[in-house]
């Protein structure tokens, strides 16, 4: 099971690397176009493709078990940072550094209870 998940993640990473280089190639082609209506249309198509690739990445990350931080749209996959004292995974958002599961401050918890 773990092997299948790892293999799936590697395959997904390869797909996204390919997609990213494809978008990079398209960007170069768009940059080479003269200013005008065609270039504007190509830039819009490129922007849409980039947004869709980003959304697909978030959906895939969620499918394979990454928590998603909602600090940005369509979401940011949180990355494994450490393990807590119970051996549970602790994730961190690479954009806003929020942690999942959220840190519980013992003092704050006491205040809420009292
Ligand atoms: Zn975040």
Q: The whole model's pTM is what?
A: 0.65
Could you tell me the distance, in angstroms and rounded to a whole number, from the CA of residue 1 to the centre of ligand 1? 29
Could you tell me the distance, in angstroms and rounded to a whole number, from the CA of residue 61 to the centre of ligand 1? 14
- pLDDT per residue, tens digit, the chain (114 aa), is 667 767 777 777 777 788 888 888 888 989 999 999 999 999 999 999 999 988 999 999 999 999 999 999 999 999 999 999 999 999 999 999 999 998 776 666 666 665
pLDDT score of 6: 72
Cα–Cα distance between 70 and 72 in angstroms, integer?
A: 5
Q: Give the E-state strand segments of the chain in sequence order.
A: 68-69, 76-77, 79-83, 89-92, 99-100
**Which residues on neighbouring strands pair with residue 91, listed in sequence order?**
80, 100
Could you tell me the distance, in angstroms and rounded to a whole number, from the CA of residue 13 to the centre of ligand 1? 21
Question: Tokens in use for 34?
Answer: 């003269």
Could you tell me the distance, in angstroms and rounded to a whole number, from the CA of residue 92 to the centre of ligand 1? 8
pLDDT score of 8: 73
Buried b / exposed e over 62-90, threshold 16 CB at 10 Å, is eeeebbbbeeeeebbbbeeeeeeeeeeee
**From the CB of residue 43, how many other CB atoms can be counted at a distance below 10 Å?**
14
pLDDT score of 96: 97
Could you tell me the distance, in angstroms and rounded to a whole number, from the CA of residue 79 to the centre of ligand 1? 11
Could you tell me the distance, in angstroms and rounded to a whole number, from the CA of residue 77 to the centre of ligand 1? 8
Burial of residue 5 (CB within 10 Å: 0-12, 13-18, 19+) is exposed
């Amino acid at each position: 099971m773990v092997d299948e998940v790892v293999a799936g993640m590697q395959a997904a990473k390869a797909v996204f690397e390919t997609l990213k280089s494809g978008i990079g190639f398209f960007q170069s082609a768009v940059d080479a176009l003269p200013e005008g209506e065609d270039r504007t249309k190509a830039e819009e198509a490129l922007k849409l493709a980039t947004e869709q690739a980003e959304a697909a990445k978030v959906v895939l990350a969620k499918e394979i078990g990454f928590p998603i931080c909602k600090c940005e749209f369509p979401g940011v996959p949180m990355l494994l940072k450490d393990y807590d004292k119970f051996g549970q995974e602790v994730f961190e958002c690479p954009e806003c550094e929020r942690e999942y599961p959220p840190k519980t401050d013992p003092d704050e918890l006491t205040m809420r209870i009292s």
